[in-house]
Every structure is written in C-alpha cells, then in structure tokens.
Structure 1
Amino acid sequence: MTVAGQRRRRAPAMSPEDRRDSIVRATLPLLAEHGGNVTTSQIARAAGIAEGTVFRVFADKKELIGACLEAAFRPDGLAAELTAIPATEGLHKSLVRAVRAIGAHVDRLGSLMQGLAASGYRQDDRENADGEDGPMRHLAPISQALSALLAPHDAQLRLGAERSTGYLMGLVFVDRLAGRFGGTTADPEELVDLFLRGAGSSTEEGPQA
C-alpha cells in the first residue's frame, strides 16, 4: 500500500463505546503533557484516526476531557489489581505490591491534574457533577480492596484491618503529594516498614511514668 493509501485508510470499525474508550486512552497521556491546550489533531494522531472521528463520538473537546477525567479517577482497575495480590505472599510483600500500585495510580492522577492546572483548564459543573461525596465514592472500592488484602493478617495489626487501611492509604497519598511539591518520596519498601514498625527505634525506651 502506498503512503497516500495508508493516510486515506479508514480507522478499524468499532462500536461507539469502544471508540470512545480508545480515544480516551490515547488522550490521557497528552493531557498530562499539554493540559487543556492539547489539540484534536494531536489526539487523532495519537489514536491513529482521522480528526473527524473524534467528533463522531464526542460533542467537543470539553466532553472528551471530561470523559478522560472520569476514566482516570475510575477505581475499578486499581481495585482489581489489589484484589489480585495473593495473601499467601505474606503481609510485608503483599503491602509492598499494594503500595506500589496505589502510588502509581496517585502519580498518574497527579500528572493529569497538574497538566490541566498548568494550562489554565478549569472544570465546569458538567464535569464536576459528583458533588461533595465524589472523592469518597472513588476511594471506597480501593479502600475495600486494600482492607480485604489486610483482613487475613488482622491479628498482626494493632488497629485491625479496617482502621489500618485508612492509615496506610493516608501515608501513601501524603508521600506522593510531597513529591508533587518538590519533597522527597519513599520507596514502597520504606513506606511499608514505617507502617508496620513505626518510626521509633525498637531499642528506644518508652515514656517514663
């Protein structure tokens, strides 16, 4: 096939839902890089489609960005990744894998939101329809999956699986957020050691009565 023929080749047939998902996947890294200034021609090139194909499944670029935000915050992929970690690996190793997965998810969200903010992009009511319970709705499946991972080791946790889940997630989020503001971040092994053993020396005496 000639180059001209390749350029005229139509995109493979897909259902509208599959086409939307394909375009969203191609757009997400562009939003982290260019923010709201990404062009539909860049999106089409990354997706391997004609520019007009974008507007067959999205009314405009704002609707596409809204779909990208919804996909980025969707928790089911991370929750499934946590659920797939075998509890038979032991508490420390399981938590290292979990912390690494959660940290990567937070980093992707951070890059996306940082890129959008740097470009001056602002969400409108159409995109920000979750209301006040939006963040908790996204976090709940992740918390549940992590709590289920901790549950078989409940006896090893002073606070139990449910409360320990909240502390561990907070530790990971604060660590990754620090990196976004120029601070240092810990590797997963260090965070898990801190979570399981605390920051104090094991030989340090407790407070005197």
Structure 2
Amino acid sequence: MPPRAAPLSPEDRREALIRATRPLLYDHGRAVTTKLIAEAAGVAEGTIFRVFASKEELIDATVTRAFEPGDVLRRLDEIDVGLPLRERMLAMTSILQQRFLAIFGLMRAMGTVGPPQHLHDRPELKKGLEDVRARLLALIEPDADHLTLPPEQVLHVWRLLTFAGSHQEIADNDLLTPAQIVDTVLNGVERRDA
C-alpha cells in the first residue's frame, strides 16, 4: 500500500492527479488504469474517486489541460523582442513545435485525430488561443517595415508551416527543424534590400 498522501485541498488533489496522469496517457492511452495513476501520484486508488467521478472524467480533465495554452503564453512572454527577427521566430517556432509534438503525440496515444469536440465550446480556451496569436504577432510586428507581407500574413504562413512541419503524418515522418521553418518563411518574405 502506498504511503498516505499529504492532505491537499480537493482542487490541489485534482491538479496533482492530472499532472500524474498526463505522462501515463502517452504510454497507455485510455487503457491506463487507476492503479497506475494512483501509483504515479503517490496516493491510494480510492483517492482518485474523491475528486473525480470516474477514470474517464480524470482522463478528460487531463486531455483538456493539455490543450490549455498557459505554458506557451509564459514561454512566449520570455522571448526578448529586442532580438533579431530570425532569432525571435526561431524561439517562437521551438515553443510551438514542442507544443504541437506533445499534443499530436497525446492524440495519437488516445486514438484520436483531433481535440475533443467539447473543447471548441470552452470560451477560456478560445481566449487562450487568441492570446497566443496576439503574442506571436507582437513578436513579428516590430519588423513589419522589412517584410513584403503584412505581419498577420507572415504569422499565418509561419503557423501553417510550423503545424504541418511538426506533424509526423503530414510531414511524412520528416519533421522540419525550427531553422528550416523560419528560413523558409523569411527567405520568402524578407525584402532583399533589408
């Protein structure tokens, strides 16, 4: 029997269980057992059901959390806007590519090809994605005078290439590196006299 867990509030316990469950989903998908989750979280199996009605509810909460952009926003905020455009875009690409690879890997492990449908109805996730877009755009806009396309279009092309170049199936198992993505975009949009 695992050692008794330290007393946590129900919300803190939910968070701890979600954190423990996510890596297990990559290995086991929906077949993960509550026993494995409890062991990873260092709690008794019954503790799970004090804060989640079912294993499926815990899995759904874990998948939902994976789609929340909090970590991406924090990491984008750490990019120095004073860096040259290429360096900013390399950092942006690394951050988004890591997120895409994690999300795509999770979806693959879960046997799905897209996010759960109910995520499209969550206004806080929609706002989070809008915040990500705004931060990305703010990292490109300082160099607008050196681009042949408006920053919004550069962002659109860059995001499409980052998404496709980070998806194993779309990229035919030949993922693009951040440098390949950024150089492809910039060499197509950077003014020759810049």
Q: Compute the displacement of 1:93 (Å).
A: 0.9
Q: How does 1:27-176 map to 2 (within 5 A)?
A: 27-117=21-111, 128-131=117-120, 137=126, 139-176=129-166
**Secondary structure in structure 2 of the residue aligned to 1:42:** helix
Contact 2:16 2:41 in 1 (8 A): yes
Q: How many residues align?
A: 188
The CA deviation at 1:46 is 1.0
The equivalent residue for 1:4 is: none
Aligned to 1:177: 167
Mapped contact 1:44–1:51 kept (Cα < 8 A): yes
1:205 counterpart residue number: none
Deviation at 1:41, TM superposition (A): 0.5
Partner Cα separation in structure 1 for residue 5 and residue 135 of structure 2? 38
Q: Distance in 1 between matches of 2:79 and 2:20?
A: 28
Partner Cα distance (2:108, 2:86) in 1: 32
Tell whether 2:154 aligns with 1:194.
no
Q: 1:167: how far off? A: 1.3
Normalising by structure 2, we get a TM-score of: 0.86
TM-score (norm 1): 0.80
The sequence identity of aligned pairs, in percent, is: 33
Could you say what the CA RMSD is over the residues aligned between the two structures, in angstroms?
A: 2.6
Structure 1 position 117, deviation (Å):
0.3
The one-letter code sitting in structure 2 at the alignment partner of 1:159 is L
**Structure 2 counterpart of 1:174, one-letter code:** A
Give ranges in structure 1 of 5+ residues lacking alignment: 1-6, 203-209
Aligned equivalents of 1:165, 1:79: Cα separation in 2:
16
